[in-house]
Copies of this chain bind each other. A is one copy, B any other.
Amino acid sequence: MALKNDLILRAARGEKVERTPVWLMRQAGRILPEYREVRAKMGDFKELVETPEFACEVTIQPVDILGVDAAIIFSDILVIPEAMGLPYEMIEAKGPRFEKTIKTAADVNLLKIATPDDLHYVIDAIKLTKRELKDRVPLIGFAGAPWTIFAYMVEGCGSKTFSKAKKFLYTQPLVAHQLLQKITDSTINYLRGQIAAGADMIQLFDSWAGILSPEYYNEFALKYISQICNAVTAVPLTVFAKDAHFARRKMGKLNCNTIGLDWTMDIAESREMIGHTKTLQGNMDPCLLYADFSTIKNETIKMLKAFGPDKHIANLGHGLYPDIEKDKVKCFVDTIKEFRF
């Protein structure tokens, strides 16, 4: 497998690159009319995730339409709880809902440790997508970080405070650790399965990192991320812990290649805190893409210069918002691809 464009992999490994590579979180999604068309033919979001042919189609769309330097498999972080025995529904405009949630040690004991077989539809989607991509760009696999998955399994839905999930940490710390370990073991199995199926790079999303105190984040989140980093080493790995500004020094010591930054993290300060061995990813405010084309260009170039020519993978600081115009996204991508230091 000789990739025609391996810029992102080389940047992740800290090698010199001809230009900064770029991909976007939620690049396969509602911002593309082509995605909305496929989606309209399907029943719902989960059917799309569980049907390899459709997942493959929407995964490749942004490579064709936006010209990004990587594809990321179309899936959801909540496939892991489902594979462990906790099914969910995705409710339009509301988000995920779990019928059962985890309340006690007995609930944790009932959960299984997931294997790639339990997630064959993602594995099949990765295999199919690798075939269809024809080595044009790398394919990124992903999973939720254990704390974020835990938060949904206990809370049962999205929340501003995730106070049920946090209450669990404060009242049943030992059971919390048991659940986090089961999630971690499942995630390691799952990510190894993704790599065996062809994923060229892995990203861990810790979407709810920012609601824990620094001490609790170390104890209930970073410890398990570290296990995953040490177990999944066959391809470059990125850790994106949104809003975990307080954990940057410790993240610099993880056994991974790349740390994702959100847009509230100052670039120079983050580089100083994380150190010079890691590649950094990010970190434009998604709302910049509401601005006019010249503002987008100027701010994007400012961001590229702040990161510098090496050890940077350009991205937003969070996923694309669904009402952002495709041409604005393309302007962001093109500005990065045209820029030379």
Q: Determine, out of A25-33, A118-126, A163-171, A195-203, the stretch whose residues face the partner at the interface.
A: A163-171
Q: Is the CB of B288 within 8 A of A170?
A: yes
Contact of A266 among B160, B214, B265, B295 (CB under 8 A): B214
Contact of A246 among B167, B213, B266, B295 (CB under 8 A): B266
Q: Which residues on B sit within 8 Å (CB–CB) of A213?
A: 263-264, 285
Q: Which residues on B sit within 8 Å (CB–CB) of A211?
A: 264
Q: Is the CB of B321 within 8 A of A161?
A: yes
Q: Which residues on B sit within 8 Å (CB–CB) of A291?
A: 170-171
Question: Taking the complex as formed, is A290 at the interface, i.e. its CB lies under 8 A from any CB of chain B?
Answer: yes
What separation, in Å, do the CA atoms of A287 and B285 have in the docked complex? 29
Number of chain A residues close to chain B: CB under 8 A = 32
Q: Is the CB of B264 within 8 A of A245?
A: yes
What separation, in Å, do the CA atoms of A169 and B290 have in the docked complex? 10
Could you tell me the distance in whole angstroms from the C-beta of A10 to the nearest C-beta in chain B?
A: 28
Q: Is the CB of A167 within 8 A of B264?
A: no
Q: Which residues on B sit within 8 Å (CB–CB) of A214?
A: 264, 266
What separation, in Å, do the CA atoms of A286 and B211 have in the docked complex? 11
With contact pairs A213-B264, A285-B216 given, residues A290 and B246 touching in the complex (Cβ less than 8 Å)? no
Considering the complex, give the chain B residue whose CB is closest to the CB of A166: B287
Q: Is the CB of A243 within 8 A of B246?
A: no
Could you tell me the distance in whole angstroms from the C-beta of A306 to the nearest C-beta in chain B?
A: 11
Binding site for B on A (CB under 8 A): 160-161, 163, 166-167, 169-171, 210-214, 216, 243, 245-246, 263-266, 269, 285-288, 290-292, 295, 321, 323
4 closest pairs, A vs B, by CB?
A166-B287, A167-B290, A170-B291, A245-B245
